Structure 1
Amino acid sequence: MTIEAKHSTEPESMQPHMKIAESWSCLNAWLQSMPDAIPGGLNAPASDDEIQILEGALGVKLPEDFITSLKTHGGQVDQDGVCFEGESLLDVKGILNEWTCWREIVVDGLFDGMTSDPDDGVKDDWFNLKWIPITKNGMGDCLCIDLDPAPGGTVGQVVRMLHDDDRRERVAASFEEWLCRMVMDITGLDVEEQQK
């Protein structure tokens, strides 16, 4: 079964769900027979030092599920290779580079007075410095971990940031949920069947 990687209307507690380790284990097993599915493959784990430096540069504490993921695979090797719905999964350096680009635009005041059209639980900023990019598509768009949600949102939810569109879609309640959906989408895995 292929799952659309959109925000489901199904209650989050009722959705099929895998933990970070399970998602990566399933994807890694599938990649053994489909090694070209992720261009360049996946990186080795990010080190504690790399994660600490990243958090210091961003001025945030990253969610535990995302840290767990970085400690399994620190993004994908080819930062321009697409896989996750036409986007590449950023490594530690890529996360900081993308965030720094957005930060410079914010600091320069180019977004002053601009608001977005967000889903419930997402602030109406054009870009928020507590949105941490985790993917890029090469056209200025990214998915971000939202560490500053609006009322009704959750810290760590995943938000789609479009550079030339005011929509701000809440695509998952957490990175763990997003990764699970991506693995189901890529591999065709049915989590309900897997967990029986």
Structure 2
Amino acid sequence: MTKNTLLQELWLEYVAVLDKQFPGYSTYLNGPATELDIQQTEEKMGITLPDELVQLYLLHNGDSNHLMGSFLGLPFLTLEEMHSHWNNWKELLENESEADMEQLSAFSTSIPKNQIKATYANRKWIPLSYDYSGNHIGIDLDPDVNGVIGQVINFGRDEDEKYVLAASLHDFLTLMIQLVKGLSFTIKMDKQYDQVVFMWQDDIHPIDGLKTIRKKTIH
């Protein structure tokens, strides 16, 4: 049996915490993606996915239809869903004029400064999760001058204020573990929709919660 990578160990530790809060949580995650699944996704996108992201998908190919919220309340996208959302942004970039994109990007900011390109959309932002309203947490493969490839960011229709939430997926998973151990979350079965739902205390939007936490670390 192949030994898990450090990234995979972090994810399994995170899921183990969720299993303690809601026994059987991990059984609602999809099984692993295959290397062929990943290769085909990369070919469709014309992008090589970073190794950390590949390692994550080799454990679980996202949330199943009976689970919503593995990324601190936002769904963990399958490879197919990742490609679909990425393609929507790609089509927007192809169909909007340069002037339109400048207008859409007028209020875009990077926090900290010059780490995320101040634009509305970018072909090299890889959606990892989705809030059903056009917003994502994802991986940035095209950072600004002070950023790093692979940093985890928020972006989307309502996300003019873009934050570097973590310098890497490894660091983001570490943060996720700290948060689920230290903050109050509710995990429950929604019988109407037959879904296990992960919610922040006071029903805070996960992206807003993460941005608030990040603000405290920026000086």
TM-score normalised according to structure 1 size: 0.78
Q: Is residue 130–residue 148 contact of structure 1 (8 Å, CA) maintained in 2?
A: yes
Alignment partner of 1:147 out of 141, 144, 151: 141
Gap regions ≥5 residues in structure 1 = 1-17, 190-196
CA contact (8 A) 1:147 1:157 kept: yes
* Alignment match, 2:191: none
Q: Aligned to 1:183, which of 177, 194, 197?
A: 177
- Which protein is richer in strand relative to its size? 2
**Equivalent position to 1:35, from 23, 43, 49:** 23
Q: Matches of 1:174 and 1:41 in 2, distance apart?
A: 26
Cα deviation for residue 83 of structure 1 reads: 3.8
Structure 2 spans left out of the alignment, 5+ residues = 184-219
- Residues 1:159 and 1:32: Cα distance change in structure 2 (over 3 Å): closer
Name the aligned partner's letter for residue 35 of structure 1.
P
Moved more, 100-109 or 122-131: 100-109
**Mean Cα deviation higher: 113-122 or 86-95:** 113-122
Structure 1 residues 168 and 31: CA distance shift in structure 2, 3 A: closer
Bigger Cα displacement from structure 2, 75-84 vs 86-95: 75-84
CA 1:157–1:25: 2 relative to 1, 3 Å: same
1:87 Cα deviation after fit: 0.9
In 1: Cα distance, 2:93 partner to 2:67 partner: 25
C-alpha change, 1:30 and 1:173, in structure 2 (3 Å) is: same
The match for 2:57 is 70
Distance of aligned partners of 1:139 and 1:130 in 2 relative to their CA distance in 1, 3 Å threshold: same
More helix by share: 2
Query: Which moved further from structure 2: 40-49 or 128-137?
Result: 40-49
| Counterpart code for 1:178 | F
RMSD of aligned Cα (Å): 2.3
2:203 match: none
After superposition, give the CA deviation of every residue in 1:168-193 in whole Å (9 maximum; x if it has no partner): 1111111111122113322449xxxx
CA–CA separation in structure 2 for the residues paired with 1:65 and 1:168: 22
- What SS is found at the alignment partner of 2:40? helix
User: Which residue number in structure 1 is paired with residue 217 of structure 2?
Assistant: none
Farther off after superposition, 176-185 or 132-141: 176-185
RCO higher in structure (CA 8 A, sep ≥6): 1
Structure 2: how far apart are the matches of 1:159 and 1:169? 6
Structure 1 stretches (4+) deviating beyond 4 angstroms?
none
Structure number with greater Rg is 2
Identity %: 29
Counterparts of 1:159 and 1:92 in 2: how far apart (Å)? 18
Which stretch shifts more, 180-189 or 124-133? 180-189
Structure 2 residue corresponding to 1:161, chosen from 139, 155, 160: 155
Question: In structure 2, the residue corresponding to 1:152 is in which secondary structure?
Answer: coil
| Residue 47 (structure 1) shift | 0.4
